[in-house]
């Protein structure tokens, strides 16, 4: 790699073509193949491997966001919600785990049948978090939640801080989430309206998050799929137990999630259309255009 980078690149591309050929033989026999999205298909295409669709633009194989995570999680607004207990105390993290679990169980009793499985999975996850000793370093946690779950969990944290039960908490999320990431080979790979190659949602997110109450925002390049292949928008929000923090969290978290759901609904993802309609019912001030459905046969 250091002494002969051109030869190294040549050998890597040979390996990619060999792997793609093996995959093609398996799928010809009925194997289901998907790419995690960390640039295997992208780099295989640059190596000249046979992985392109007939249109010459798309890959013949889906990313797992396209086939699995999108319809199951992201289209509904579920994604990796994160928090850090600034006190550094394990007992504070344990209390936040319990608070989050209680909130999710309450939401589950009244949630739509479409998201019952997601709620059950995430409750099981947070219940086992302490037992599985998942913390390395900071007293931090990650939990998949939708806009309603994130907002209610954050409010419950803020209330606990106000009561002196726990120290300050900083909220955040992964870039691998519902919105805030323009990544045509992974997170936005299922945007079938052609907008997967635009990079505006990350900008929308950080601008919206900034004036809706984020403590800080960031635009960064890379993250999973490689430099130059993705634009990410991130945020951090400090909860200090004040009424002002409560106002900010309700405004910002709702926007941060539904910005991405709106984009996915415009691409006619059925689950996202359901989710954005639900969001507008919950918040009448939210006005999102619903896609106009046309006869695909007529277009063809």
DSSP for 149-176, please give it: HHHHHHHHHHHHHHTTSS--EEEEE-SS
CA 237 to each of CA 4, 100, 104, 213, 225: distance values in angstroms, whole numbers, following the listed order: 46, 17, 21, 8, 26
Amino acid 79: pLDDT: 93
> Packing angle between helix 90-110 and helix 147-162, nearest 10 degrees?
130
**pTM of this prediction?**
0.89
Q: What are the extents of the domains in the chain? A: 5-67, 77-299
CA distance 145 to 81: 6
Amino acid 201: pLDDT: 86
In whole angstroms, how large is the CA radius of gyration of the chain? 21
Residues in the chain: 300
Contact (Cβ atoms closer than 8 angstroms) between residue 53 and residue 60: yes
Amino acid 127: pLDDT: 93
CA distance 186 to 179: 12
- Beta-carbon contacts of 275 under 8 Å, excluding residues fewer than 6 positions away, are 75, 76, 77, 146, 261, 265
Residue with tokens 């990650």: 142
- Beta-carbon contacts of 63 under 8 Å, excluding residues fewer than 6 positions away, are 34, 35, 36, 37, 41, 185, 186, 189, 190
CA distance 42 to 52: 10
- Beta-carbon contacts of 259 under 8 Å, excluding residues fewer than 6 positions away, are 179, 180, 201, 204, 205, 208
- CATH code: domain 77-299 is 3.40.1770.10
Per-residue pLDDT of the chain (300 residues; tens, 9 = 90+): 999 999 999 999 999 999 999 999 999 999 999 988 778 888 999 999 999 998 887 889 988 888 888 899 999 999 999 999 999 999 999 999 999 999 999 999 887 888 899 999 999 999 999 888 878 779 999 999 999 999 999 999 999 999 999 999 999 998 889 988 888 878 887 677 777 778 888 899 999 999 999 999 999 887 667 778 888 899 999 999 999 999 999 999 999 999 999 989 988 889 999 999 999 998 999 999 998 888 878 877
At residue 193, the 3 state secondary structure works out as: coil
Residue closest to 190 by CA, chosen among 56, 67, 288, 37: 67
Amino acid 190: pLDDT: 67
CA distance 126 to 279: 25
């Amino acid at each position: 790699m250091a002494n002969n980078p051109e030869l190294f690149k040549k050998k890597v591309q040979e390996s990619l073509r060999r792997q793609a050929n093996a995959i093609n033989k398996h799928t010809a026999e009925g194997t289901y193949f998907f790419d995690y999205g960390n640039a295997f298909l992208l780099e295989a295409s640059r190596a000249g491997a046979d992985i392109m669709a007939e249109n010459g633009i798309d890959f013949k194989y889906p990313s797992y966001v396209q086939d699995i995570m999108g319809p199951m999680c992201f289209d509904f607004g579920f994604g990796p919600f994160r928090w850090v207990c600034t006190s550094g105390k394990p007992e504070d993290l344990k209390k936040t785990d319990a608070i989050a679990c209680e909130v999710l169980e309450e939401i589950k009793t009244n949630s739509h049948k479409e998201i019952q499985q997601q709620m059950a999975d995430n409750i099981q996850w947070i219940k086992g978090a302490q037992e599985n000793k998942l913390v390395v370093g900071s007293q931090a946690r990650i939990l998949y939640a939708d806009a309603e779950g994130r907002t209610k969990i954050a409010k419950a944290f803020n209330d606990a801080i106000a009561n002196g039960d726990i120290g300050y908490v900083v909220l955040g999320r992964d870039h691998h989430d519902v919105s805030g990431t323009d990544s045509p080979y992974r997170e936005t790979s299922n945007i079938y309206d052609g907008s997967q190659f635009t990079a505006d949602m990350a900008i929308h997110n950080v601008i919206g998050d900034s004036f809706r109450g984020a403590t800080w925002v960031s635009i960064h390049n890379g993250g999973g799929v490689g430099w130059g292949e993705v634009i990410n928008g991130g945020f951090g929000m400090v909860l200090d137990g004040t009424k002002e923090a409560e106002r900010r969290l309700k405004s910002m978290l709702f926007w941060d999630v539904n910005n991405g759901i709106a984009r996915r609904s415009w691409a006619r993802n059925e689950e996202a259309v359901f989710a954005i309609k639900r969001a507008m019912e919950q918040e009448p001030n939210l006005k999102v255009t619903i896609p106009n459905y046309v006869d695909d046969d007529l277009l063809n």
